Structure 1
């Protein structure tokens, strides 16, 4: 670590950074680095590779220091910036600061920021990444060393290459963290697939915010009641459009056959259980009360939709005939509520043609009346 932060280390990283390090050149590039830098070659190559991967999360990753596990769990810069805005003007203590990704965002908006972590290596990386303006110390998240500040925590959800899906297996365990923070306003970052019922069984009574970025659900953040809007228990935040939907919004949408457009709501909306609220806001309706696909006569602004060209009872034979009749040779397949593998189905369809289409396959109805239905569509973009 000391070497990487030194002037000679920075020069070595710059030199290794000029290597391609692709699958085709990796063996030769590592040999080159080993000839030039000896036993330090491995950490230099790893650091350069991690910086390149980090470019998907950070705008300024070229000078950062990472570990592989820390990078995997690090918050993407736009997500961290959104959270920091919710904490603007407050004193904030990041209890699990790791390499400092949240601290950078908080430093731009919070009144006071400090970070702590048990791992001395990650603390050293945070010092390098954040600079000297943020107070850092080594401390246990279950025994906060601050007073009065809002606390932020991101319990570890990985052990090497293994993910921990049970929040009771987080490090520290989520229940222990809630107990330690019971008297403090807090925000706890969790995996987006966390079981909300388990969280509530642990006594959590605040707001669960599900956030998406670049079309992907990134996290669920648990906001204690003191940091949540009055009455809000669920929130979907879509950073791509800046839209937010909460469970106090109206949810009076109807159920009706598909109209001109089908809409597959953003994953944050679906994961937060706010499909009906989103539909009501945009004048859409459900095509089935238990399926997240929505329909409407017009598309919400900025939303990708699917213009319905044809609807048919789903079978591979009928779908193949309908697509062949439209000279479709390339097809995007969306599935919800039916046991169909889109990639395997696409191969079996053996399509030939010069047209493109999207196919939405879903189940409509319940019990004996349920039926798999396919919609051949023209995507809006």
Structure 2
């Protein structure tokens, strides 16, 4: 759960003494093994009252480096950092809000608000947590952005004629994720009711049940660097009127592409060809595998499974050139590995009850070559495809 910051902690961390203390502590190992010596150093540096706050801030800043750009001077709580949108994703979402007046009604420490403030006409952020609001004020200043901050409930509107941005809490006190829209905090249906008639975007976990979403809402699943990060629900004029589902695939270098259910989805199931393609997780989670296949001239191995096959893979993906294949059983697969002199083996499984790690231990490959095996269901039969992974 992390350290529980209070207002005094934040005021200290924003002071000259606090900034200097955190900068000094940031040079410590900050690992589990060094915890006792790190705590002792923090107490010597700032005394018992603020030692935990300063040390926690140093730890959280280090964690934030891979997620939030230019956040070396930011303030966080552990749970706020966990839920904060990665900077690349936040900027992607903010693009649709450019030039608008925007109110982030769950602004927390300001990670999304900073991206919005960079492109919006005017920006407002609100939250019920005073500690997080103070942190957001500090973080906005550190990022060189401006926004009006207000202590307010997301379900009690304090602005009119603004686009509303909301990021409901998605974990309970035990750290478990919430997949049901009614279990979000605040609940999705209450957000929709309170802000009815307004342009609204709600950030949700990618495992959200899209069947519970109204038909006039666009659901966008976003991945970054191959990892599915979030779903965004777009309401009102923000929604694409031609699409109900969208997958947006972002790269850390700023590149991006997207696909929607407005595109054709003519995609038969056929025998394996030269390549197998595993679509990005955003495409799979958004239910757009057939649309992706049609766009790139691919077909499915099985209509219920997300693996695709074709004579040429899309550019810029990691695809699998098929070397050999046959019905899946361990004896036959072991023979395939011997035939192709495979010693280093990646195992990908979909639609078949196989534990890749346990299977690798049983197979004990001993050759000199590296390969990947795709194990999947085709019809009612398990199949194994021995492949060489290549970046196209």
Q: TM-score, normalised by structure 1?
A: 0.96
In structure 1, the partner of 2:244 is 233
Matched, 1:214 2:222: no
In structure 1, the partner of 2:389 is 379
Residue 10 (structure 1) shift: 0.2
Work out which of the residue numbers 57, 61, 69 in structure 1 matches 2:67. Answer: 57
CA distance in 2 between partners of 1:2 and 1:128 (Å): 10
- Aligned residue for 2:287, secondary structure, equals coil
In structure 2, the partner of 1:192 is 206
Residue 44 (structure 1) shift: 1.2
In structure 2, the partner of 1:24 is 33
Residue 254 (structure 1) shift: 2.1
- 1:117-158 deviations in whole A, cap 9, x for unaligned? 111010000000012721000111011111001100001112
CA distance in 2 between partners of 1:248 and 1:235 (Å): 9
Cα pair 2:269 2:301 within 8 Å, conserved: yes
- 1:177-222 deviations in whole A, cap 9, x for unaligned? 111111211000000000111234xxx6210000000111100100
1:341-360 → structure 2 map (5 Å cutoff): 341-360=355-374
Cα pair 2:123 2:146 within 8 Å, conserved: no
Work out which of the residue numbers 105, 129, 132 in structure 2 matches 1:119. Answer: 129
Matched, 1:15 2:19: no
In structure 1, the partner of 2:3 is none
Work out which of the residue numbers 127, 130, 142 in structure 1 matches 2:155. Answer: 142
Residue 320 (structure 1) shift: 1.3
In structure 1, the partner of 2:12 is 3
- 1:155-181 deviations in whole A, cap 9, x for unaligned? 111234232222211111111111111
The 4+ residue runs of structure 1 with deviation greater than 3 A are: none
CA distance in 1 between partners of 2:236 and 2:350 (Å): 34
In structure 2, the partner of 1:224 is 235
- 1:2-51 deviations in whole A, cap 9, x for unaligned? 10000000010011111111233222222222233222211111111111
Matched, 1:246 2:260: yes
- Aligned residue for 1:268, secondary structure, equals helix
Report how many aligned residue pairs link the two structures: 374
- Aligned residue for 2:352, secondary structure, equals coil
In structure 1, the partner of 2:376 is 362
Matched, 1:306 2:302: no
Matched, 1:43 2:53: yes
Residue 338 (structure 1) shift: 0.7
Cα pair 1:69 1:158 within 8 Å, conserved: no
Residue 87 (structure 1) shift: 1.0
Work out which of the residue numbers 153, 158, 167 in structure 1 matches 2:166. Answer: 153
CA distance in 1 between partners of 2:266 and 2:179 (Å): 34
Q: TM-score, normalised by structure 2?
A: 0.93
- Aligned residue for 1:179, secondary structure, equals helix
Deviates more, 1:324-333 or 1:133-142: 324-333
Cα pair 1:207 1:225 within 8 Å, conserved: no
In structure 2, the partner of 1:273 is 287
Deviates more, 1:16-25 or 1:80-89: 16-25
CA distance in 2 between partners of 1:175 and 1:282 (Å): 37
Q: Which structure 2 residue ranges, 5 or more long, are not aligned?
A: 1-9
In structure 1, the partner of 2:146 is 133
Residue 225 (structure 1) shift: 3.5
CA distance in 1 between partners of 2:149 and 2:236 (Å): 27
Cα pair 1:141 1:172 within 8 Å, conserved: yes
- Aligned residue for 1:69, secondary structure, equals helix
CA distance in 2 between partners of 1:30 and 1:265 (Å): 46
CA distance in 2 between partners of 1:80 and 1:311 (Å): 42
Q: Which structure 1 residue ranges, 5 or more long, are not aligned?
A: none
CA distance in 2 between partners of 1:235 and 1:158 (Å): 25
Cα pair 2:197 2:236 within 8 Å, conserved: no
Work out which of the residue numbers 20, 34, 38 in structure 1 matches 2:43. Answer: 34
Residue 95 (structure 1) shift: 0.5
CA distance in 1 between partners of 2:361 and 2:37 (Å): 38
CA distance in 2 between partners of 1:18 and 1:69 (Å): 23
Q: Aligned-pair RMSD on alpha carbons?
A: 1.2
- 1:341-377 deviations in whole A, cap 9, x for unaligned? 1111111111112211001000001xxxx10000000
